[in-house]
Amino acid sequence: MALMHRLELRQGQSLVMTPQLLQAIKLLQFSHNELVSYVEAELERNPLLERADGADGERPAEMAEPAAEPAGVDDERQWFKDELAVSRDTIEAGLGTRLDNVFQDEGGAKAREARAAEDQLPVSSSLWSGSGHGSFDDDEGPSLEATLAADLSLHDHLEAQLLVATSDPAERLIGRHLIDAVDETGYLAEDTAAIAARLGTTNERVEEVLALVQTFEPSGIAARSLAECLAIQLKEQDRFDPAMQALVAHLPLVARRDVAALKRLCGVDDEDLTDMLAELRRLDPKPGRAFGGGVAQTLVPDVFVREAADGSWLIELNEAALPRVLVNQTYHARVSRDARSEADKTFIADCLQTANWLTRSLEQRARTILKVTSEIVRQQDGFFAHGIEHLRPLNLKAVADAIGMHESTVSRVTSNKSIGTRRGVFEMKYFFSAAISGTPGGEAHAAEAVRHRIKQMIDAEPADDVLSDDAIVQKLQGAGIDIARRTVAKYRESLRIPSSVERRRQKRAQGRGTQ
């Protein structure tokens, strides 16, 4: 077979996504906080970008040219200088005494000498910041930073106790790893065997240090289960007797309120069991929550939906959640004129291109959000007017086909976005619900609306007539909803509602407690 070289021309099509296009797509799925962080980083990096705080895109004050002083200003300044240039002798002659006698220092000559000596001392930063004891004068109080107290985290609180509890370096090292594995609720989130393998020690040694950490405050810390957490607290109160041990060992029965089985296992009567359960309720199942976690982020709506006077819906962007930037063309012209090297010219050109792209991408993002939100409001008009019972089944494809966009684009737009309504703030994904078929001849129902109806039925059930899953199915089918029993059970469990047997037992126990 002979080998040969030849040139060929081939025509083809391919989709090439530039970095700018990829970033524009990424901007669509940014949440409010992520978008603000990204824009702030671009403002710091790109000198041609500025915030659109001024009206009509005014230039910032620091970039404005200094205004020319009007004529005659120098003459006025000289006049003020002449008026203020009064000699000390002239003032003393007008007062009839020396200035030292008029403005006397309190404390006499010794005090004046002491103050003069203090004036010769070097001034430290702590004296001005108020960080030292007695470092501020009589006129000014301590600085704000000196009066603030830092929040003590759970890990810092435990590490401080660890330093006091043991001086062994090995135990301190193991203890720090155990403390790092404690989550914000106070439970040990990692297996001790894994910690031992990572540190190259035995599991028994880690268990010994864990027993030490579990004696720290708050009581019940570093437990591996709810039963262990409650047991630690009961041991510290000297209340972990055999009957209480049996009660803690059968917490599922406590959750189901199976009084008969608990009395048999604990070997106590009704009165003792009632006291034990009351004592168990006084314990803290999450000892770490007193220290809290991170700051809760407020859900900021990206779009507001309001009802107009004619019954239609007004849709507007939340300007507070949409950062606005402008390209400073004046500054670009100035630095471009002064640029000499090719590197400077390339940098300025890249900054201008990036700035123009960012402003266009933010505008396109805002228009896309408005377009998608308008279609959601149109599809879910019943929800905005009457409530969750009128929520309709909706998927991404239906919205994408209606507005002429790709389904993936709608998915990015609705991710991490929320809509502010008179009924509260809802994530955009909330309005996309699966469909549950209705009875023959009826319309389909949204799964979220059916779940809400199930909750309403269970909340309204009387104590002597608790609804089973089969009874709920019959009621829903009577309302035109074709649903299976397993679907009702799945929705009930997602709402964290116990079964009919457990609800009946709870209602009976509550009835006896009110008597």
228 shares its domain with 337: no
What amino acid is encoded at 384 in this protein? F
Q: Is residue 62 part of a domain?
A: no
Q: Is residue 31 part of a domain?
A: no
169 shares its domain with 230: yes
Q: Which has the higher per-residue pLDDT, 487 or 24? A: 487
220 shares its domain with 325: no
424 shares its domain with 451: no
Chain mean pLDDT for the chain: 79
> Count of residues for the chain?
515
Query: So what's the pLDDT on residue 320?
Result: 82
Six-digit token string for 108? 């006499």
427 shares its domain with 460: no
Q: Is residue 311 part of a domain?
A: yes
d(CA 25, CA 38): 14
State which residues form the domain around 312.
303-433
- pLDDT class for 137, splitting at 50, 70, 90? very low
Q: Which of 400, 433, 466 is the last residue of a domain?
A: 433
CB 396 within 8 A of CB 389: no
- pLDDT class for 64, splitting at 50, 70, 90? very low
User: How many domains is the chain partitioned into structurally?
Assistant: 3
CB 450 within 8 A of CB 331: no
Query: So what's the pLDDT on residue 515?
Result: 55
Query: So what's the pLDDT on residue 212?
Result: 92
Q: Is residue 135 part of a domain?
A: no
308 shares its domain with 277: no
Q: Is residue 68 part of a domain?
A: no
Query: So what's the pLDDT on residue 91?
Result: 52
3-class DSSP assignment, residue 428: helix
Query: pLDDT per residue over 185-209, tens digit each?
Result: 889 988 889 999 988 889 999 999 9
Q: Which of 374, 408, 433 is the last residue of a domain?
A: 433
CB 209 within 8 A of CB 174: yes
Looking at the whole model, is its pTM more than 0.85?
no
Helices 169-180 and 192-199 pack at an angle, to 10 degrees, of: 130
Q: Is residue 505 part of a domain?
A: yes
Q: Is residue 148 part of a domain?
A: no
In the predicted structure, residue 25 carries a pLDDT above the cut 70: yes
Q: What is the CATH number of the domain that holds 480?
A: 1.10.10
274 shares its domain with 311: no
